[in-house]
Amino acid sequence: MTQQERFIEDLKRNQLMVAIRTESAEDAYHAAMACVEGGVRFIEVTFSVPGADEVISRLSGDERVVVGAGTVLTTDDARKALKAGASYLVSPAFDEEVVTFAKKEGVISIPGACTPTEIYRAYKAGGDIIKLFPFVEIGGLDFLKAIRGPLPFVRYMLCGGATLENISKYLAADAAAILIGAAIIRRDLVAAKDWASIAGLARSFVGKVEGSRTKT
């Protein structure tokens, strides 16, 4: 089994990836560590965070977490992310140069797409997992069901709309992963530096994943 195959298997088993998007590097680090304490294994630090590469570097030494970079829009971003220790690259859109760079460097590429044409182009270019974004706005779980008809071989990550109340439906869709943002990294909790509550939310989401495993 290749390193990429192991990554995808591990991600599919854990299901959750949390996107960290805060206004400072320090808040990003503490929010990420709160998620790790809550049992989240996959953390994506978005490049919209000032000093995102420093946060990735700090997190990459922790064996409990597989850290990646998000909002990777250019090969310069990608290069900086990998230098910092990112294991995978996530983008809101499909940029062929970024995907090609990831393939060349041997890291997982997760480009964003929201139409059948974009999804297939991103897949053909070498995207390992295709991030459906913005998931709710393009039709949510109904869209996923429809697109799997002609494109069942694509691995999908669902980005947007997942909450503690509906996460069971997302899990039942059996996607490669579910990307969670504001449902765990709540602005009010970050502003209050309430890392314990963020850890608690993360733990609740992880518990839902574990609960869904016992039912299958």
Extract the tokens encoding 147: 């697109």
pLDDT confidence bin for 214, thresholds 50/70/90? confident
Torsional class of 174: left (φ above 0), alpha (ψ -120 to 50), beta (otherwise): left
Active site positions, annotated: 44, 131
What percent of the chain shows pLDDT beyond 70? 99
pLDDT in tens, 177-196: 999 999 999 999 999 999 99
Helices (H), 94-158: 96-105, 116-125, 140-148
Mean pLDDT of 161-189: 98
- pLDDT (tens digit, 9 = 90+) per residue, 85-96? 999 999 999 999
Name the band, by pLDDT with cuts 50, 70 and 90, for residue 216.
low
CA distance 198 to 21: 13
pTM of the predicted protein model: 0.96
SS3 145: helix
Distance of alpha carbon 106 from alpha carbon 110, whole angstroms: 13
Using alpha carbons, select from 184, 135, 124 the residue that is nearest to residue 159: 135
Q: What is the pLDDT of residues 30-46, one digit of tens each?
A: 999 999 999 999 999 99
What's the distance, CA 4 to chain centroid? 15
Q: How many CA atoms lie within 13 A of 146 on its CB side?
A: 11
The rounded distance, in Å, linking the Cα atoms of 150 and 164 is 30
